[in-house]
């Protein structure tokens, strides 16, 4: 039941950004006695129920269901990457505490290996100290020449996280509901529609992945193959000279293994194609040998394909939009509501999720102070 009288924050979107933000907003309200009557409502057209291979279906835009996913830090060589790096470090810290609180949440600590045919300067300059200081991830070690797969010139390993994305998002949604969160199933035509979807909305958080008619938003097509393999206990990523990628991401918690993958900006094709599928499966053979010959206790097995998947990463020129948009006239009782935008996470939504959620919480705190001031002013009129 939604309490009609409760002041409400509406979050649009039930992807990893909307869910993490909604949980952080609940914490903000819990910690502020003056907001004890407030509630958070998630409005979304799709919800985390996906089990690839079962007859459930999600659109390719619902990125959080298709993500591998793993945490893979990228050197901070641009302003956007530096900001994302800060969010990643906050996320790693939160993942640590989530795992301490319970380990059946779709999140697993696992070794990661990265190898490169032509690494950029940022990767070449990395050291164990700088890597841990920048990401919070431990166990960094550069691979020796003998350990590198054919054709690669640099490689390293570290302790990272693999996420079974549908399971993890389902867990976040359950936590949100247990903490009093409410849900509305709806397809919104505009952000403004969210402000009247339930009574007494105070402001809206737009975590809709691709936003609403933002010309800076574009898809990065991701073609991956979900297999039934359970023999991998690490994730490995290979960046090739021609810009292509090969990666293996175990989806722990009975989710098989993701064999990837493509990163194709502005590519709107919806269907998987057999040539790419073949390239991914063949390309991974070398990595497979490498991973399994380096201490994994499991044996190779015959992999079979559960599903060829295409998902769209919700990218945005300049990176994630994180800001409050104020309506024209905030001092009028009839004006539109402020909107806190948090969309356009691109290919990194899981690994930056808790950093973004903490920024959403900070912005929400400042917005609530401002709304209280405006209400005080209007009451005195
Ligand atoms: C193949 C692939 C591999 C990936 N691998 C990784 C990885 O290894 N690590 C990583 O960190 N990230 C990875 N990603 C990226 C990650 O999936 C995204 O960054 C992340 O899921 C974005 O989350 P989001 O919540 O912003 O958007 P989404 O997950 O797309 O969620 C958007 C939500 O908004 C709702 N919505 C949208 N429009 C409306 C509307 N008009 N009305 C109502 N509801 C609406 C949707 O229903 C959905 O619930 C990968 C993505 C792909 C496709």
pLDDT for residue 144 is more than 80: yes
211: Cβ contacts below 8 Å, ≥ 6 apart: 217, 314, 316, 321, 341, 343, 344
pLDDT (average), residues 136-141: 98
pLDDT of residue 332: 56
Please name every residue paired with 308 in a beta bridge, in sequence order, or none if there are none.
Answer: 225
Q: Which atom of ligand 1 is nearest to the CA of 46?
A: 47
Q: How far is the CA of 111 from the centre of ligand 1 (A)?
A: 25
For ligand 1, atom 27, the nearest C-alpha belongs to 209
Q: Which atom of ligand 1 is nearest to the CA of 224?
A: 1
Report CA 202 to chain centroid distance, whole Å: 26
Q: Which atom of ligand 1 is nearest to the CA of 44?
A: 44
Determine contact, residues 164/252, Cβ cutoff 8 Å. Answer: yes
Q: For the residues of 236-304, what is the DSSP string, one character each? A: EEEE-TTS-EEEEEE-TTT--EEEE---EET----S--HHHHHHHHHHHHHHHHHHHHTT-SSPP----
Report CA 211 to chain centroid distance, whole Å: 15
For a ligand 1 pocket test, name from 137, 239, 349, 355 the mutation site with the most ligand atoms within 8 angstroms of its C-beta: 349
For a ligand 1 pocket test, name from 63, 107, 272 the mutation site with the most ligand atoms within 8 angstroms of its C-beta: 63
User: What digits encode the pLDDT tens for the residues 29-70?
Assistant: 999 999 999 999 999 999 998 787 888 889 999 999 999 999
**Could you tell me which of 66, 2, 332, 363 has the C-alpha nearest to residue 204?**
363
pLDDT band at residue 295 under the 50/70/90 scheme: very low
User: Strand, coil or helix: what is 116?
Assistant: strand
pLDDT (average), residues 86-109: 95
pLDDT for residue 87 is more than 70: yes
**Could you tell me which of 60, 16, 73 has the C-alpha nearest to residue 235?**
73
pLDDT band at residue 170 under the 50/70/90 scheme: very high
Determine contact, residues 69/249, Cβ cutoff 8 Å. Answer: yes
Q: Average pLDDT over the chain, rounded to whole?
A: 92
Give the chain's domains with CATH numbers.
Answer: 8-380 (3.30.9.10)
For ligand 1, atom 44, the nearest C-alpha belongs to 44
For ligand 1, atom 21, the nearest C-alpha belongs to 64
| Cβ of residue 68 lying under 6 Å from some atom of ligand 1 | yes
Q: How far is the CA of 24 from the centre of ligand 1 (A)?
A: 18
pLDDT of residue 299: 45
pLDDT for residue 300 is more than 60: no
| Cβ of residue 256 lying under 6 Å from some atom of ligand 1 | no
Rounded Cα distance, 12 and 179, in Å = 18
**Could you tell me which of 251, 259, 255 has the C-alpha nearest to residue 233?**
251
Q: How far is the CA of 313 from the centre of ligand 1 (A)?
A: 6
């Amino acid at each position: 039941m939604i309490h009609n009288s409760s002041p409400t924050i509406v979050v649009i979107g039930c992807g990893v950004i909307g869910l993490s933000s909604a949980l952080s907003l609940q914490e903000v309200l819990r910690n502020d006695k003056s907001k004890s009557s407030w509630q958070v409502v998630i409005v979304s057209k799709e919800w985390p129920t996906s089990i690839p291979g079962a007859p459930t279906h999600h659109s390719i835009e619902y990125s959080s269901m298709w993500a591998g996913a793993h945490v893979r830090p990228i050197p901070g060589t641009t302003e956007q990457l530096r900001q994302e790096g800060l969010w990643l470090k906050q996320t790693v810290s939160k993942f640590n505490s989530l795992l301490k609180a319970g380990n059946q949440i779709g999140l697993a600590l696992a070794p990661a290996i990265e190898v490169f045919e032509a690494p950029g300067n940022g990767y070449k300059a990395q050291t164990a100290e700088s890597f841990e200081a920048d990401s919070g991830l431990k166990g960094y070690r550069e691979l020796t020449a003998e350990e590198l797969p054919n054709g690669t010139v640099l490689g390293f390993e570290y302790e990272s996280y693999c996420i079974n994305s549908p399971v993890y998002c389902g867990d976040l949604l359950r936590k949100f509901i247990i903490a009093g969160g409410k849900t509305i199933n709806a397809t919104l035509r505009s952000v403004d529609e969210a402000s009247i979807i339930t009574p007494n909305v105070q402001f809206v958080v737009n975590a809709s992945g691709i936003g609403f008619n933002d010309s800076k938003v574009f898809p990065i097509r991701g073609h991956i193959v979900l297999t039934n393999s359970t023999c991998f206990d690490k994730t490995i990523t290979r960046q090739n000279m021609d810009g292509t990628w090969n990666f293996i991401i175990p989806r722990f918690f009975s989710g098989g293994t993701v064999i990837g993958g493509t990163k194709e900006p502005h590519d709107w094709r919806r269907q998987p194609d057999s040539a790419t599928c073949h390239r991914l499966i063949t390309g991974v053979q070398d990595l497979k040998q490498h991973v399994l010959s380096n201490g994994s206790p499991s044996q190779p097995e015959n992999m079979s394909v559960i599903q060829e998947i295409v998902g769209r990463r919700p990218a945005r020129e300049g990176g994630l939009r994180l800001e409050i948009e104020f309506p024209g006239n905030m001092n009028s009782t009839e004006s539109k509501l402020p909107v806190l935008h948090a969309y356009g996470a691109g290919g990194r939504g899981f690994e930056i999720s808790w950093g973004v959620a903490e920024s959403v919480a900070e912005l929400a705190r400042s917005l609530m102070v401002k709304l209280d001031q405006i209400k005080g002013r209007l009451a005195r009129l």
